[in-house]
Amino acid sequence: MIEIAELAKRYGRRPVLQGVDLRITRGRITAIVGPNGAGKTTLIKTILGLSRADAGRIMLDGVQLDGGVDYRARIGYMPQIARFPENLTAAELLALLKDLRASTDRDRRALDEELIDRFALGPQLDKPLRTLSGGTRQKVNAVTAFLFRPELLVLDEPTSGLDPVASSVLKDKIHAERRAGLTVVLTSHLMGEVDELADDLAFLLDGRVRFAGALEALKATTRQATLERAIAKLMAREAA
């Protein structure tokens, strides 16, 4: 679905992405992992069109992204910390998003509001967003990501702030949508979560992809039973 070739990005004199090559396969969950400062956030922002690369290209279904914004209608995005208009209620926020998307929703498919019920958000919808707890705001964040039935879902630390029940609900939803054909890109510092969710993994270090492939292939290559130990082994090799 997404092919990234020779992607490069600098902030001032500091290189953040250095010739990134990566393929994200349709209908699979790809995790982008790495230590702080590896370039994960910049890579995600570049895919979303929130940051422009200095060099390289990103292809979406064979079409190169050239700065246009139409393709974003195909993407659902759940940032780690959502910035909502504090004066709106959750219901007003959802209504606003529906109004904004009404003219761009290509086939007017039914909205996906399943998580409202699964999270038992009903009693919270008429409360101002500024009064909601961090966990409840994260639930609203998840609802907005799935709302328009995207073809590509980008999740940045999706379970951050969620209690175990809500976290399980969200993971079940991700798995269900993946089985239905949704393509997912996620970042997480929780290797257990990545192990539970992802099919494929891209490991970034110093702005370069040091591994890209199936999770099980990484475990086999490093001869480790868990993803956390496999990543640790990979980092040790790169540092040697």
The 10s digit of each residue's pLDDT in 184-207 is 999 999 999 999 999 999 999 999
Question: For residue 211, what is the enclosing H or E element?
Answer: strand 208-214
pLDDT confidence bin for 237, thresholds 50/70/90? confident
The pLDDT value recorded for residue 107 is: 45
Q: Domain-by-domain residue ranges, the chain? A: 2-239
Q: Which CATH homologous superfamily contains domain 2-239?
A: P-loop containing nucleotide triphosphate hydrolases (3.40.50.300)
pTM, 2 dp: 0.91
The sheet with strand 183-187 has its strands ordered as: 75-78, 152-156, 183-187, 29-33, 200-205, 208-214
User: Hey, is 109 helix, strand or coil?
Assistant: coil
